[in-house]
Structure 1
Amino acid sequence: MARRRPNGLKKSTIRAALLVVVAACTATPPAKQYQLTGQILAVYGARQELAIKHEDIAGYMPGMTMSFPVATKSLMIGRTPGEL
């Protein structure tokens, strides 16, 4: 004789499966990008970063001096301190 699951357990299993499906379908928003104007103060090749003294970045942060990661090493080629 086959065993039957109680209705409560069956419904809970279906709900859990639906939650997994919904969680898997959520889209990740695209990364925000901001344009900045500033001067390179230092080039950190090993860390693939540039220290930049920049103006206000509209909608993001006030002007300051900080290091920024550079996406690819090829973008580091030719970067020198003092460059605008």
Structure 2
Amino acid sequence: MTSTTLDYHSDSISLRVVEALAAATDTDPSELEPLYHAIDPEALDQLFQSDSSADVSVEFGYHGSLVEVRSDGTVAIDGTVHGTE
């Protein structure tokens, strides 16, 4: 299992969600439904860009999978943590 963390100044968590789901489902990112059909990507990015040290986790369904975004920057698809590298 691999895990990556976010560089909060250059990475977009919404983009990381799309990349992780594409990797987990072996699907080209352009073939996935738009993320905004599942969650507001701007709100998601803002939530995880805050400098808060609070332990935050967001779960939502996307493209038939359960996505969890954690405050440490990890993205889990159906319980498995995915990295983009």
Q: TM-score, normalised by structure 1?
A: 0.22
Higher-Rg member (1/2): 1
State the structure with bigger RCO (CA 8 A, min sep 6), 1 or 2: 2
* Structure with greater helix share of residues: 2
TM-score, normalisation: structure 2: 0.22
